[in-house]
Structure 1
Amino acid sequence: MSSRYALALESVTKVYGSGRHAVTALNGVTMGVPHGTFIAIMGPSSSGKSTFLHCAAGLDKPTKGGVILGNTRLAGLHEEQLTEIRRERVGFVFQAYNLLDSLTVADNVGLPFRLAGAPIPADRVRAELANVGLADMGDRYPGQLSGGQRQRVAIARALITEPDVIFADEPTGALDTRTGKQVLQLLREVADKAGQTVVMVTHDPVAASHADSVTFLADGRLAGELIGPTPEKVADRMTRLGEW
């Protein structure tokens, strides 16, 4: 796999436990995600979706195989180096938002810089908030925002370091249909207009239909890919994963 991929997995296997208690969550997964694309990862419960995200984002280390982020191979890096990579080159958007209620919206967006011990660039914070439609919300606190607004703050925080890849874990799981659609359209724009790479784990066929392609997992293995997904095609493929 070459650097034409924003993210590449090479025969990634992840085993939890040992002996007869061992559970293989990922089993020999190899794939590449081109720069500037928006892909969705789908599969039934216990298919390996969360483990895929954790290994791909450097939150967990594969038992076998390797992960390459841009030109950087993650295997062999110590925890301090991985922390720096996650802070500077990876963005995260979670279902639970993971905002700090004691900080203003602007301070939440600038948090990656604070954690790095660097000055918070106020102009960039304002620009990212404007990009997600929250230009006048910087002085508010998360508790004063709706769920959709909080998720947009989380997306602004993920974007501010201009990461190689944005990982979104069920980003619409806590939102109503209309608000979820707005968040998905924003992620779509991140790939189309900003040229950044988005990897989204979801169980929702409608959410997955906003992606360029859907990669399916079953029992920790790749179970096919769907290009140009629609909700109907995704739902149909999901119902047939058992046949795979």
Structure 2
Amino acid sequence: MNEAITRTVPEAITLQAVSKVYGKGRGAVAALREVSVGLPKGGFTAIMGPSGSGKSTFLHCAAGLDRPSAGTVKLGGTDLSGLSDTKLTELRRERAGFVFQAFNLVSSLTVSQNITLPLRLAGKRADRARLAAVLQRVGLTDRTGHRPGQLSGGQQQRVAIARALIADPEVIFADEPTGALDTMTARGVLVLLRETVDTMGQTIVMVTHDPVAAAYADTVLFLADGRIADSMHAPTAAGVADRMIRLGAWAR
């Protein structure tokens, strides 16, 4: 007799009853309200929602950039709530990668130096083979000596992605990574992010306002009023846009 075997995918990030409140008294604002969710290892999750829904706060709490007012956040098996600021900084440096809308590159450093900066800050030497592999993956092998001012916006974002990848992090957190790019350039960046999931098993959590960008993810979580209001697996741009329209009406 054959029995079905259930395989559970390990969670890269777990939020349990996470709330975040800014301010006190009558001026207090609840950005997250008892959010509980697990994000799978090796998955690509997009976070969407109307303005003020809590999506950036969600990412900041999940990444250990901000501490929740209540609840717990775990990266792998590590509970972030019990870590000191110093330990949180070390964890982010060693186990997380970050990609932001503004690229956040150091203008005086070359492409290679920008990519390896997190390693140098951690007191580690950059492995040449690892650097070469990352440069090839992001298509910047012929730009290693260039500085950010000599690169296009898309190339600068590829440098930021390479910088996030260099330490082989458990999770890459991307906050509006295509927000400053034109449509065609944004598509190239999204394809690159998708490929890091499919070929490297990388975990990505991406905040975006763009339904087209969200369609590159495996799952979209929709936030409204600080809560997870809905989710969509195998999303399409049209489906995400329709859900956002309905969420916007619901949030009002």
CA distance in 2, matches of 1:139, 1:203: 34
State TM-score, norm by structure 1: 0.97
Name the TM-score, length of structure 2 as normaliser: 0.94
Alignment partner of 2:82: what SS?
A: coil
Aligned to 1:118: 124
Question: What is the distance in 1 between the residues matched to 2:197 and 2:65?
Answer: 23
User: Any gaps of 5 or more consecutive residues in structure 2?
Assistant: 1-7
Query: 2:70 matched to 1:64?
Result: yes
Q: Which amino acid aligns with 1:103?
A: L
**Given residue 231 of structure 1, which amino acid in structure 2 is its aligned partner?**
A
Q: Does 1:160 align with 2:166?
A: yes
Bigger radius of gyration among the two: 2
Give the structure 2 partner of residue 101 of structure 1.
107
Matched-pair contact (CA < 8 Å) for 1:165–1:196? yes
Which of 241, 246, 250 is 1:243 aligned to? 250
Question: Residue 87 of structure 1: which of 87, 90, 93 is its match?
Answer: 93
Name the CA distance, whole Å, in 1 between partners of 2:171 and 2:34: 22
How big is the shift at 1:120?
Answer: 2.4
Aligned counterpart, 1:4: 10
Equivalent residue number for residue 23 of structure 1: 29
Query: d(CA) in 2 for partners of 1:3 and 1:176?
Result: 35
Moved over 2 A (4+): 120-123
> Out of 202, 217, 221, which is 1:196 matched to?
202
Q: Distance in 2 between matches of 1:230 and 1:65?
A: 32
Q: Which secondary structure state, in structure 2, belongs to the residue aligned with residue 198 of structure 1? A: strand
Aligned to 1:77: 83
1:225 corresponds to which residue? 231
- Report the 3-state secondary structure (helix = DSSP H, G, I; strand = E; otherwise coil) of the residue aligned with 1:32: strand
Give distance in 2, aligned partners of 1:11 and 1:33: 14
Secondary structure, counterpart of 2:142 in structure 1:
coil
Note if contact 1:26-1:220 (Cα within 8 Å) is conserved in structure 2: yes
State the Cα distance separating 1:71 from its structure 2 match. 1.0
1:165 partner amino acid: V
User: How many positions carry a matched residue from both structures?
Assistant: 243
Q: Which amino acid aligns with 1:63?
A: S
Residues of 1 paired with 2:98 and 2:220: CA distance?
A: 19
Q: Which AA in structure 1 matches 2:240?
A: V
Q: Letter of the aligned partner of 1:191 in structure 2?
A: V
C-alpha separation between the residues in 2 aligned to 1:121 and 1:229?
37
Structure 1 CA distance, aligned partners of 2:115 and 2:130? Answer: 9
Of residues 171, 178, 191, the one that matches 1:172 is 178
CA RMSD after TM alignment: 1.2
Conserved? CA contact 1:3–1:70, under 8 Å: no
Alpha-carbon distance between aligned partners in 1 of 2:94 and 2:9, rounded to the nearest angstrom: 18
- Between 1:124-133 and 1:63-72, the stretch displaced more is 124-133
